[in-house]
Amino acid sequence: MAGESDEEAFEEVDPTGRFGRYAAVLGHGSVKKVYRGFDQEEGIEVAWNRVRVRALADRDPSMVDRLHAEVRLLRSLHHDHIIGFHKVWLDRENGVLNFITEVCNSGSLRDYRDRHKHVSVKALKKWARQILEGLEHLHTHDPCIIHRDLNCSNVFINGNTGQVKIGDLGLAAIVDKTHVAHTIWARRSSWRRSCTRRPTRSRWTSTRTGCACWSW
């Protein structure tokens, strides 16, 4: 009986009843908050992402449908070194876009390095190789996807295996056949002025990869 009373309750569940959200927050940004979640069907922990789109929709009503469609595109990305999407749905009543992603048990690479100071060059090379493999998948995807905010806070690691995954694609851009970048869903004025609707290739993300490696 004591075990039942100590069981952590879900704050909410998705429309299918498969995924549950706990109150614990894994991370947050200006428009997004990430909660600890659970996949009841597979019996695994997940990340439950909530994006507040109502304010964005007030400024641009078409933004909601665009967000939903383009996050679905991200859901089509399947690679060992990119955080996987499981499900996405729009809560129109509360103005929230919800999506479920896989979760890495050791958090971001930045936090992991703060906890573990003594890492060999061999291990750093393994991490860098995995990041580059993930980037190659993004850049060769049709359409091409550029991360644009790659750093150690947006790369996640499973510490028990050493596997790293690229995540947080909120500032990513889809590049059309004219090599013009279109921001996926997050808006940030400085990025919008410098990157959105500008002819571009993958060199920017490659430069950020070098900066991330240098910060190690």
What is the pLDDT, as a whole number, of residue 126? Answer: 97
Task: Give me the CATH number covering residue 64.
Answer: 3.30.200.20
Residue 68: predicted pLDDT:
67
Q: What is the pLDDT of residue 142?
A: 86
Total structural domains within the chain: 2
User: Does residue 86 lie in a domain region?
Assistant: yes
Same domain? 113 vs 210: yes
Residue 70 — very low, low, confident or very high, per pLDDT cuts 50/70/90?
low
Task: Name the average pLDDT for the chain.
Answer: 80
98 and 135 assigned to the same domain? no
51 lies in the same domain as 128:
no
Q: Does residue 216 carry a pLDDT above 60?
A: no
203 shares its domain with 132: yes
Do 136 and 163 have their domain in common? yes
pLDDT digits (tens, 9 = 90+) for 158-207: 999 999 999 887 667 777 666 666 665 544 433 333 333 344 444 444 45
Give the model's pLDDT for residue 193: 37
Question: What CATH code is carried by the domain that includes residue 186?
Answer: 1.10.510.10
Give the pLDDT score at 203.
Answer: 47
Is there a domain that residue 9 lies in? no
Q: Same structural domain for residues 140 and 75?
A: no
Which pLDDT band holds residue 66 (cuts at 50, 70, 90)? Answer: low
Residue by residue, DSSP assigns the chain as -HHHHHSPPPSEE-TTSSEEEEEEEEEE-SSEEEEEEEETTTTEEEEEEEEE-HHHHHH-TTHHHHHHHHHHHHHT---TTBPPEEEEEEETTTTEEEEEEE--TT-BHHHHHHH-----HHHHHHHHHHHHHHHHHHHHSSSEEE-S--SGGGEEEETTTTEEEE---TT-EEE-TTSBEEE-S---HHHHHHTTTSB--THHHHHHHHHHHHH-
Same domain, 96 and 132: no
pLDDT band at 79 (very low <50, low <70, confident <90, very high): very high
Show which residues are catalytic: 168
For residue 209, give its domain range: 109-215
